[in-house]
Amino acid sequence: MVDHSREHLLRKDSIWIQTGREGQELDAGSATGKSLGVFTSGGDSQGMNSAVRAVVRMGTFLGCKVYYIKEGYQGMVDGGDLITEASWASSSGIMQKGGTVIGSARCADFRQRAGRLKAAKNLIDKNITNLVVIGGDGSLTGANLFRQEWMSLLDELKETGKITDEQRRNCSHINIVGMVGSIDNDFCGTDMTIGTDSALHRIIESVDSISTTASSHQRAFVLEVMGRHCGYLALVAALATEADWVLIPECPPDHGWEKTLCKKLSAEREMGLRLNIVIVAEGAIDIDGNPITANMVKDLITNELKYDTRVTVLGHVQRGGKPTAFDRILGARMGAEAVLALMDAKPDTPACVVSLDGNQTVRVPLLECVERTKSVQEAMNKKNFQEAVRLRGKSFQNNLATYLRLSKLRPPKVMCDPTGQVCSSGKKLAVMNIGAPACGANAAVRSFVRFALTKGYTVLGIHDSFDGLLYGDVKPIGWTDVHGWTCQGGSLLGTKKCTAARYGLDKVAEKLKEHDISGLLIIGGFEAYHSALQMAEARSKYDAFCIPMVVIPCTISNNVPGTDFSLGADTALNEIADICDRIKQSATGTKRRVFIVEVMGGYCGYLATMAGLAGGADAAYIYEDPFNITNLRDDVIHLKNKIIQLGVQRGLILRNENANANYTTDFIHQMFSEEGKGSFTCRKNVLGHMQQGGVPSPFDRNYGTKMASKAVDYMITKVEENTTEDGKIKSCTKDSAVLLGMCRRQLLFTPLEELREITDFEKRLPKQQWWLSLVRPLLRIMAKHSNEAYRADAILSKVDFEDDDNA
């Protein structure tokens, strides 16, 4: 059974942090007397406000005096009212806003020693010896220089009589921790920078919208996206929208690319496609280093192919708008960890950057990150583009390789015909969806089909889960059959919530044998995992199950063991966060209102907890963290105090649909309404199936595509290893029935047999879930609950992540 004790929730899974000590647990007020400043610098990005909010609230929780340094380095140099003390209330209501509410500005003064001298004096006047810098590589480089000069700046200020001996002793060193806020994702040392996911949403929303009008008029569109020195946005947008061509600075096209591009677009029109999309990074170049602009591409298509072609330059639209759920959560996690890193720092601790590696927060030496980032540009300047791609890291390399393989017109002729029915290997792989529909499933199917065809394997699509298998709805899927699937929600193959045992394992085995299936990919939720496990455990009885089987978790509930993230959960979180924003906005002008919102998830509280962190909720009630009437009463009192004493105007309470059989959403709504009389009014909302709908987020499109790519490679390796002399497949080892999932820093194939031991089948839950010990305490700390303990999450890492096999 699941361990529900609060001790288990707050103290399990300790992690080594930078100092080499076991995960340090910090209590409220443990850093009383310290001061820290937070500022944003350089270009703004969505999610910065979430990071600022987390720094303020975690610092306040620990007892620090926290200061806003407004307008970036300029505010540090000018001082005065630009350095103001922050409070819990002052950081309220900013999380859902784009940009940075404390301002950002380029500062020429700080580049001179005289400017840095003024900045040091202003910080010393406030006793600020800890700085959190949120910005790009230029901002972080400036902060590190400031730290290196600190002692000499103190000496000069002391010699000129601008500070006292006591001030010099109290501020003898300064600690600096950085967070990378940049939509370009151009900083080496992290998988994702704050703002990148939101910018991708803007781009993909635009491409999806443009595609409808382009198809109507059979037009070609050339979109220019940001990325003067880095092609990440263009590359991932191309992968997520099935763009026909992408031009990025790290991988310029060969000589004669113009002819190749035109030939491909022309061939696509001959195949019946009605639109063409070309994505160009603003820093795109050719192999000789000459710029390639969107207008150049447009003129090429117009002149050579006579297509009606339009250019759309997205510009600062990509920077604007509110942050996605991913960026809000990323900012919150990084902001909290940045404060812990400062509290842990010693005078000789080097400046670090809080980064993301897979799903693991890491602390990376700042100087190494900056040097690695600069080396990318140096490689491109030398036209060593292969090295530039390598330096971008494993994630960038995987994105590029995946796009190049998927964007071909058809599979290699020697491997397979375009219909997918005549393939060189003579073997068949099958794919099916099981469980409730979730966004990202179609992207995974498309990727699986195309990668399998390029390797010479026929792919059979099993429609409507086991219904299709048993009643003959099993058909080969060709290369063009899956065109346009990436951007569509739901399940185009069809799906049902059922398990294999329900239909009869003997019947399922008989049909797998009838169709001569050599490998099976199952994409779905808990039923998909359970079905694969049932078939794997029946191998001794049915030979048809002795084939490689891979499960890709795909459910908004994120309740499948063996993975930190399931496909579809990110899209659902964005839907919930967006709806909660609108719900709260509906009370604008209405004083003191609290909303009770019920979300899906079965018995798994992932959606409620993560949406609570992304939406700035005051509490999130879930099954895994038991609560009683006393807890509810305390939360009402706590919320009343925030509203009356701090002036908070709106409250948000989230409840998982199966959090408690007796404390229902109606009960909580009625209780808060009654107990809040005179302090606030209360409204109830049940979100329902809106959480399952919509189009897939960029994360789910990209994640599904790359998960399926890995599944194909793994499955085919197992098929080839276990093919007998007579050509039959005999694969019965436990590593041939696996689940592919993200586990902290890596994508891992975990045997289903091992996952059985960590599964609560009654409640359809993993017995351990990473977010319980990390996000639950963080959610309550952000909501001003002071009776929590928070455990440091980050580990010390190097800049080079190439050994990690993450997505």
Is pLDDT of 6 > 60?
A: no
Is pLDDT of 806 > 80?
A: no
Task: Give the residue from 627, 642, 576, 529 showing the smallest Cα distance to 91.
Answer: 642
Where do runs of H (alpha helix) occur along 17-136? 48-62, 72-78, 113-125
Is pLDDT of 174 > 60?
A: yes
Distance CA 803, CA 136 (A): 25
Is pLDDT of 791 > 70?
A: no
Contact status, residue 205 vs residue 240, Cβ threshold 8 Å: no
SS3 782: helix
498-545: pLDDT as tens digits: 999 999 999 999 999 999 999 999 999 999 999 999 999 999 999 999
536-550: pLDDT as tens digits: 999 999 999 999 999
**Residue 41's pLDDT is what?**
94
Backbone angles phi and psi of 523, in degrees to 5: -110, 120
SS3 730: coil
Task: Give the residue from 704, 623, 641 showing the smallest Cα distance to 447.
Answer: 704
661-668: which pairs have CB atoms within 8 A and are 24 or more residues apart?
Answer: 663/621, 663/627, 663/629, 663/632, 665/596, 665/598, 668/596, 668/621, 668/632
Average pLDDT of the segment spanning 71-95: 95
Distance CA 705, CA 448 (A): 8
Can you give 585-649 as a three-state secondary structure string? HCCCCCCCEEEEEEECCCCCCHHHHHHHHHHCCCEEECCCCCCCHHHHHHHHHHHHHHHHHHCCC
**Residue 693's pLDDT is what?**
77
If one counts every other C-beta atom within 10 angstroms of the C-beta of residue 674, the result is: 10
Amino acid at 85: E
Is pLDDT of 785 > 90?
A: no
Is pLDDT of 412 > 60?
A: yes
Is pLDDT of 728 > 60?
A: yes
Q: Which residues pair with 521 in a beta bridge?
A: 431, 550
pLDDT band at 311 (very low <50, low <70, confident <90, very high): very high
Distance CA 127, CA 168 (A): 10
**Residue 11's pLDDT is what?**
25
**Residue 15's pLDDT is what?**
27
**Residue 799's pLDDT is what?**
56
Most distant CA atoms of the chain, gap in Å: 90
266-290: pLDDT as tens digits: 999 988 888 899 999 999 999 999 9
**Residue 71's pLDDT is what?**
96
Distance CA 83, CA 77 (A): 10
**Residue 789's pLDDT is what?**
55
Is pLDDT of 10 > 70?
A: no
Is pLDDT of 403 > 80?
A: yes
**Residue 790's pLDDT is what?**
56
554-594: pLDDT as tens digits: 999 999 999 999 999 999 999 999 999 999 888 877 778 99
Q: Which residues are marked as active site? A: 184
Q: Cβ-count burial of 168 within 10 angstroms (0-12 exposed, 13-18 middle, 19+ buried)?
A: middle
**Residue 794's pLDDT is what?**
58
Is pLDDT of 7 > 80?
A: no
Distance CA 375, CA 388 (A): 8
CA torsion, points 549, 552, 555, 557, in degrees to nearest 10?
100
Contact status, residue 13 vs residue 150, Cβ threshold 8 Å: no
**Residue 784's pLDDT is what?**
86
- Residue 292 tokens read as 């390639």
605-639: pLDDT as tens digits: 999 999 999 999 999 999 999 999 999 999 999 99
Please provide the size of the chain in residues. 807
Contact status, residue 605 vs residue 625, Cβ threshold 8 Å: yes
Is pLDDT of 400 > 80?
A: yes
Distance CA 210, CA 208 (A): 6
**Residue 3's pLDDT is what?**
38
Contact status, residue 353 vs residue 180, Cβ threshold 8 Å: yes
Average pLDDT of the segment spanning 162-174: 93
Average pLDDT of the segment spanning 246-273: 94
- The end-to-end CA distance of the chain, in Å, is 32
11-31: pLDDT as tens digits: 222 222 333 333 456 666 677
766-782: pLDDT as tens digits: 999 999 988 999 999 99
Is pLDDT of 246 > 90?
A: yes
**Residue 792's pLDDT is what?**
59
445-488: pLDDT as tens digits: 999 999 999 999 999 999 999 999 999 999 999 999 999 999 99
- Residue 763 tokens read as 């409640």
If one counts every other C-beta atom within 10 angstroms of the C-beta of residue 560, the result is: 30
Average pLDDT, the chain: 90
| Angle, alpha carbons 687-660-601 (nearest 5°) | 40
Is pLDDT of 798 > 80?
A: no
